[in-house]
């Protein structure tokens, strides 16, 4: 049995309307402790209305080595951008 | 400030080139990225030397924050007013929080909290020399906030653009919280310096005892810092030790004068040509002795940290055991 | 009435001050950094409450909160005996917090309806903080009680130390009785049943035995303190006492 406390990543929503943002991590033995540690560490100055904590081991991250395959193709697919289409000046609301 | 250069000056400086031969293409791409003021994130390729240097620097910075809780923590129960007590408790709590942000940043590089704490307790990892000095009076709390946090701020502000993303983001958080720290310290000194004769004496004594150690915080002179060039290129360091130290003197001397305290340096003099203060020689023997672990309170600081960790072992085990039991019960349902 | 309100505020203020002082002793020494921050948080909340209540108490006597905190001797302190107990190990500290915060939450819940506007305002703000303190303490009692054999033994010992100070929390003496009637003070007697239920529920979850009933230790509200308070005060009050005319 491990005696160490696992690492949890912390996400804070600063205000309603914004998304949760990653702010760092804490060690905690269980989920409730993780929430409290996250609150005491990352929201001491009223910086949040909502907290998510996720065990670091549960996070799946893209591989930076695959960045080209995953992300670059979008750069030359210009037809996803609205500016690709020319709309005459006299046509409004589009 | 929290860097790898905390070595005995009689030791040979570590070679700048790493033992590992890095892929030249990857290395070139990495260097270009850093030179373009871009950020390196946790899973990106990085030279071993960069990773090692960062783990050391970030963890030593974290250790400094944690050990730094002790000299100030020494006065929370004796703070002379309710407001001073609350502000000091909040400040020391902040320092613990800073340690937490930094440990979190270091863990993204492949080390663990346990490993880092073990390195600290065994003496392999260092912490800032400044925290080996005693806080014998209330005025020392003012001096620490004003001078020590002041020096730290000087070092930390440029690090907000350090190359490693998690470290930079931790520094942004820390800098936001730090200015209240320095102001509370200066306010304490200001009130004492304008107070009763015993209070003035306390304040003057604190300045005299904390001045030179604060200058030492910036580390050895540039000519004795062999890794500076590489650290600057990799944006792990943004300015040199001597540059920061000079800035600190230039900013702080007028503050001391404004509250009627005397900086304990007979060679201190404004140099019109340089537009800076000339100041006296630092006792590097003292600095290296403290780095070696011979600082005035070195034993007390380390004992306190080791004791807290060891005394707390049963607590950590209990929490882990309970979480495991809960997990098993949930799985059985 | 004014004097009675002042005395009542003094009791509330002293409870928070002394417990805040005890918790601040942990700063830099907790079992884990995250826990250090949590204990400091609770300590700060308590110091905030103390400042407000002592401010109110002082109004009645023409002195400020600092004057009250730093210049009274043991016989004039009105905190309950529970809060001045030494920290001991983490289990002893948590046992103290467990008994106190569950009581304080119920007390402040009632005090939000106090006819004294200042008291109800302080309580309204504090009750949210204290709900967090109680939850924190309850969870730790469960972790320690139902953790390892060692933590169970320590949790049991901690409860054994603190249990005899619980009865005093529910006393209503001749100073407070008129305030209860006037709707200014909470009737602490009426809180006992709910507190008992909460404590029993947490101890059950913690697989800890309810401590056996025993004669309650009392005297704090009359200034008859344990030996611990004197030492705590000499540390806390040293500077203002040594330099009586100084401003800090």
C89 chain-B contacts, CB cut-off 8 A? 311
Q: What is the pLDDT of residue B229?
A: 87
pLDDT above 70 for C171: yes
Query: What tokens appear for B267 in the block?
Result: 């060679």
For the segment A40-53, the average pLDDT, to the nearest whole number, is 87
How close A84 gets to chain B, by Cα (Å)? 29
Q: How confident is the model at residue A79 (pLDDT cuts 50, 70, 90)?
A: low
Alpha carbon distances (Å) from A21 to A37, A48, B52, B55, B327? 17, 10, 28, 24, 28
Measured between alpha carbons, how far is C175 from C130 in angstroms, rounded to an integer? Answer: 25
E strand segments, chain A: 7-13, 21-27, 50-55
Measured between alpha carbons, how far is C121 from C107 in angstroms, rounded to an integer? Answer: 14
Q: Which long-range contacts (CB under 8 A, 24 or more apart) does C74-78 make?
A: C74/C223, C74/C225, C74/C229, C74/C230, C74/C233, C75/C223, C75/C224, C76/C223, C77/C14, C77/C18, C77/C220, C77/C223, C77/C225, C77/C229, C77/C233, C78/C7, C78/C10, C78/C11, C78/C14, C78/C220, C78/C221, C78/C223
pLDDT in tens, C95-114: 999 999 999 999 999 999 99
Q: Is residue C247 part of a domain?
A: no
pLDDT above 60 for B19: no
Going by C-alpha positions, the residue among B261, B289, B95 that lies closest to residue B190 is B261
| B neighbour chains, 3+ CB pairs within 8 Å | A, C
Q: What is the pLDDT of residue A75?
A: 55
Going by C-alpha positions, the residue among C36, C48, C61, C63 that lies closest to residue C12 is C48
C37/B100 CB distance under 8 A: yes
pLDDT above 90 for A61: no
Summary mean pLDDT of chain B? 92
How close A26 gets to chain C, by Cα (Å)? 7
DSSP B82: H
Q: Is residue A79 part of a domain?
A: no
Measured between alpha carbons, how far is B218 from B286 in angstroms, rounded to an integer? Answer: 14
A43 chain-C contacts, CB cut-off 8 A? none
Q: How confident is the model at residue C182 (pLDDT cuts 50, 70, 90)?
A: very high
Element (H, E) at B20: none
B97/A41 CB distance under 8 A: yes
Q: Strand A50-55 vs strand A21-27: parallel, antiparallel, or unpaired?
A: unpaired
Is residue C149 less than 8 Å (CB to CB) from chain B?
Answer: no
- Please, what's the b/e burial string for C70-90 (b: 16 or more CB within 10 A of its CB; e: otherwise)? bebebeebbbbbbbbbeebbb
Q: Choose among A5, A27, A36: nearest Cβ to C38.
A: A36
B113/A26 CB distance under 8 A: no
- Determine how many CB atoms are found less than 10 A away from the CB of residue C22: 23
Q: Is residue A38 part of a domain?
A: yes
Q: Domains in chain C: how many in total?
A: 1
B90 chain-C contacts, CB cut-off 8 A? 40, 44
Q: How confident is the model at residue B43 (pLDDT cuts 50, 70, 90)?
A: confident
B173 chain-A contacts, CB cut-off 8 A? 23-24
Is residue C27 less than 8 Å (CB to CB) from chain A?
Answer: no
Q: Are B64 and B219 in contact (CB under 8 A)?
A: no
pLDDT in tens, B225-268: 877 888 899 998 888 999 999 999 999 999 999 999 999 999 99
Residue A30: domain span: 1-60
Q: Is residue A67 part of a domain?
A: no
C69/B76 CB distance under 8 A: no
Alpha carbon dihedral B75, B77, B81, B82, in 10-degree steps, equals 130
Measured between alpha carbons, how far is C65 from C54 in angstroms, rounded to an integer? Answer: 5
How close A44 gets to chain C, by Cα (Å)? 9
pLDDT in tens, B269-288: 999 999 999 999 999 999 99
Is residue C139 less than 8 Å (CB to CB) from chain B?
Answer: no
Q: What is the pLDDT of residue C117?
A: 97
How close B114 gets to chain A, by Cα (Å)? 8
A1/B101 CB distance under 8 A: no
**What are the beta bridge partners of residue C237?**
none
Q: What is the pLDDT of residue C60?
A: 74
A41/B323 CB distance under 8 A: no
Q: What is the pLDDT of residue B251?
A: 96
For the segment B50-67, the average pLDDT, to the nearest whole number, is 95
Q: Is residue C173 part of a domain?
A: yes
- Please, what's the b/e burial string for B157-185 (b: 16 or more CB within 10 A of its CB; e: otherwise)? bbbbebbbbbbbbbbebbbebbebbbebb
Of the listed ranges A85-89, B195-199, C43-47, C229-233, the one predicted with least confidence: A85-89
Whether this model's pTM surpasses 0.90: yes
Percent of chain A with pLDDT over 90: 47
Q: Is residue C92 part of a domain?
A: yes
Q: Are A8 and A27 in contact (CB under 8 A)?
A: yes
pLDDT above 50 for B64: yes
Q: Are A37 and C38 in contact (CB under 8 A)?
A: yes
Q: What is the pLDDT of residue A1?
A: 46
Measured between alpha carbons, how far is B103 from B264 in angstroms, rounded to an integer? Answer: 36
pLDDT in tens, B285-302: 999 999 988 999 999 999
Map residue C167 onto helix, strand or coil: helix
Q: Is residue C89 part of a domain?
A: yes
- Determine how many CB atoms are found less than 10 A away from the CB of residue C91: 27
Measured between alpha carbons, how far is B55 from B155 in angstroms, rounded to an integer? Answer: 18
Query: What tokens appear for B158 in the block?
Result: 């440029």
Size of interface A-C (CB pairs under 8 A): 22
Output phi, psi for B260, to 5 deg: 75, 25
Summary mean pLDDT of chain C? 97
Domain of C225, CATH number, reads 1.20.1260.10
Chain C, residues 25-44, CB within 8 A of chain B, namely: 25, 27-37, 40-41, 43-44
Which of B93, B142, B194, B303 should we substitute to test contact with C (largest number of C Cβ atoms within 10 Å)? B93
Q: Is residue C248 part of a domain?
A: no
Q: What is the pLDDT of residue A45?
A: 78
Percent of chain B with pLDDT over 90: 84
Q: Are C248 and B203 in contact (CB under 8 A)?
A: no
For the segment A28-44, the average pLDDT, to the nearest whole number, is 94
Q: Is residue C28 part of a domain?
A: yes
Is residue C34 less than 8 Å (CB to CB) from chain A?
Answer: yes
| A neighbour chains, 3+ CB pairs within 8 Å | B, C
Q: Is residue A32 part of a domain?
A: yes
A25/B113 CB distance under 8 A: no
Q: Domains in chain A: how many in total?
A: 1
Residue C55: domain span: 2-242
Q: What is the pLDDT of residue B238?
A: 85
Q: What is the pLDDT of residue A90?
A: 76
C139/A41 CB distance under 8 A: no
B320/A3 CB distance under 8 A: yes
Query: What tokens appear for B254 in the block?
Result: 């007028």
Going by C-alpha positions, the residue among B276, B226, B216 that lies closest to residue B246 is B276
Q: Are B102 and B59 in contact (CB under 8 A)?
A: yes
Q: How confident is the model at residue B72 (pLDDT cuts 50, 70, 90)?
A: very high
Size of interface A-B (CB pairs under 8 A): 57
């Amino acid at each position: 049995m491990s005696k160490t406390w696992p690492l949890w990543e912390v996400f804070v929503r600063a205000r309603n309307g914004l998304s949760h943002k990653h702010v760092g991590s804490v060690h905690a033995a269980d989920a409730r402790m993780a929430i409290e540690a996250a609150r005491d560490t990352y929201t001491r100055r009223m910086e949040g209305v909502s907290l998510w904590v996720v065990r670091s081991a549960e996070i799946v991250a893209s591989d930076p080595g695959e960045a080209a395959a995953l992300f670059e193709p979008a750069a030359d697919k210009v037809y996803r951008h609205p500016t690709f289409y020319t709309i005459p000046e006299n046509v409004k609301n589009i | 400030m929290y860097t790898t250069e905390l070595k005995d000056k009689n030791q040979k400086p570590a070679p700048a080139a790493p033992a590992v031969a890095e892929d030249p293409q990857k290395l070139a791409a990495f260097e270009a990225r850093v030179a373009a003021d871009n950020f390196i994130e946790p899973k990106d390729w990085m030279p071993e030397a960069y990773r090692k240097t960062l783990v050391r620097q970030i963890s030593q910075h974290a250790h400094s924050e944690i050990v730094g809780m002790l000299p100030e923590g020494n006065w929370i129960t004796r703070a002379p007013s309710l407001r001073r007590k609350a502000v000091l408790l909040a400040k020391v709590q902040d320092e613990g929080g800073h340690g937490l942000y930094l440990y979190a940043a270091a863990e993204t590089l492949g080390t663990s909290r346990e490993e880092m704490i073990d390195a600290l307790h065994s003496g392999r990892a260092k912490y800032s020399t400044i925290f080996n000095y005693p806080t014998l009076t209330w005025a020392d709390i003012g001096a620490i906030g004003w001078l020590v946090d002041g020096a730290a701020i000087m070092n930390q502000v440029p690090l907000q653009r350090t190359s490693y993303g998690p470290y930079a983001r931790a520094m942004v958080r820390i800098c936001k919280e730090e200015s209240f720290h320095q102001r509370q310290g200066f306010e304490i000194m200001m009130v004492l310096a304008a107070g009763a004769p015993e209070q003035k004496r306390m304040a003057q004594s604190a300045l005299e005892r904390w001045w030179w150690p604060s200058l030492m915080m910036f580390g050895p002179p540039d000519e004795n810092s062999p890794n500076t060039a590489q650290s600057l290129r990799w944006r792990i360091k943004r300015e040199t030790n001597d540059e920061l130290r000079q800035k600190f003197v230039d900013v702080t001397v007028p503050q001391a004068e404004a509250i009627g305290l005397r900086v304990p340096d007979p060679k201190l003099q404004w140099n019109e040509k340089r537009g800076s203060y000339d100041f006296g020689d630092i006792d590097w023997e003292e600095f290296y002795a403290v780095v070696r672990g011979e600082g005035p309170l070195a034993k007390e600081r380390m004992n306190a940290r080791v004791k807290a960790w060891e005394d707390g072992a049963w607590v950590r085990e209990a929490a882990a055991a309970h979480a495991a039991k809960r997990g098993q019960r949930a799985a059985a349902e | 009435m004014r004097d009675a309100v002042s005395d009542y505020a003094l009791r509330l203020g002293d409870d928070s001050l002394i417990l805040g002082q005890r918790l601040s002793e942990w700063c830099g020494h907790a079992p884990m950094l995250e826990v250090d921050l949590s204990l400091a948080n609770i300590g700060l909340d308590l110091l905030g409450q103390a400042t407000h209540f002592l401010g109110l108490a002082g109004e009645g006597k023409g002195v400020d909160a600092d004057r009250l905190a730093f210049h009274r001797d043991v016989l004039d302190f009105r905190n309950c005996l529970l809060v001045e107990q030494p920290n001991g190990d983490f289990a002893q500290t948590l046992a103290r917090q467990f008994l106190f915060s569950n009581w304080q939450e119920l007390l402040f819940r009632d005090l939000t309806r106090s006819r004294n506007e200042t008291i109800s305002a302080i309580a309204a703000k504090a009750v949210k903080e204290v709900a967090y303190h109680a939850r924190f303490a309850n969870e730790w009692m469960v972790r320690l009680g139902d953790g390892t054999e060692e933590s169970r033994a320590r949790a049991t010992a901690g409860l054994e130390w603190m249990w005899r100070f619980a009865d005093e929390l529910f006393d209503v003496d001749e100073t407070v009785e008129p305030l209860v009637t006037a709707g200014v003070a909470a009737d602490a007697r009426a809180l006992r049943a709910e507190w008992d239920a909460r404590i029993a529920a947490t101890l059950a979850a913690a697989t800890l035995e309810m401590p056996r009933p025993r004669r309650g230790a009392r005297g704090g509200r009359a200034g008859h303190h344990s030996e611990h308070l004197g030492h705590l005060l000499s540390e806390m009050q040293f500077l203002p006492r040594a330099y009586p005319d100084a401003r800090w």
